[in-house]
Amino acid sequence: MTGDANAPDADGYAGLGDWTPDTLAVPGEVRRVVAAPHPVLSRPGGEVDPTSAETVRLAADLIATMRVSPGCVGLAAPQVGVGAQVFAVDVTGHPKAVTVHGTFVLCNARVVEATRWKPGREGCMSVPDLTGDVKRASRLVVEGVLPGSGAPVRLVTDGFEARALQHEIDHCAGLLFLDRVAGAHAVYQRKVYL
C-alpha cells in the first residue's frame, strides 16, 4: 500500500487511523477466559454487526480482559465464551514485535494475503499448560471492520504481530494453535506461567 496508510484504497479500506479503545466509549469488564476443551473454542464464530451495542461492549471487554492478563498479546471472543468473529490484539512492548499497530479490535476479519512462512513457538490462555511450534506467515494482509464505527480496515503487518493476528483469526474460526502444529513432537509443556 502506498501513500497515506490511513486513506481508503480503491476498495474502500483504510488503516486504523485514529481508532483507539477510547473510541468505543464504554468501559470494558474483565471476563473469565475459558480453556480447552470448552466447546465454544472448537466452533466457528458467527459474523457480527460491528456497530451494535453488544459488539462494542464485547470489544471493550476483550481489551479489559487482555490488559489484566500478563503476557497476553491477543484475545478472541470464543476465549471468553462468545461464538463471534471479534478479537483484540496489542503486541506493544513485546520483545519480538517489530511492526506494532497498538491496541485494536477487529470484527469479521479475514486474511487476504499471507507470505514468508516461518515456524515459531505459540502459547494460549485457553491452553494454559502447553506451547507448540506453528508455521505462520510472517508477512500478512488482513481485512476487517472496526467495532463502533463499522469502518473497513486493511492492515499490513509482519513478524510477531502477523503471528498474533493469525492466532486470533484461527480462534474465530474454531481453531486452536494445537490444530496447526505438525504433530505431537511439536507440542511442549509450558515452563513459564505468566
* Residues acting as catalytic residues: 168
Q: Using the Cα atoms of residue 162, residue 164, residue 167 and residue 171 in order, give the sign of their dihedral.
A: negative
Query: For residue 112, how many C-alpha atoms fall within 13 Å in the half-sphere facing its CB?
Result: 13
Neighbours of 54 (CB within 10 A): 11
Enter the C-alpha cell of residue 65. Answer: 480482559
**What DSSP line would sit under 86-122, residue for residue?**
EEEE--TT-TT-SS---SEEEEEEEEEEEEEEEEEEE
The string over 131-165, giving b where at least 16 C-beta atoms fall within 10 Å of a residue's C-beta and e elsewhere, is: bbbbebbbbbbbbbbbbbeebbbbbebbbbbbbbb
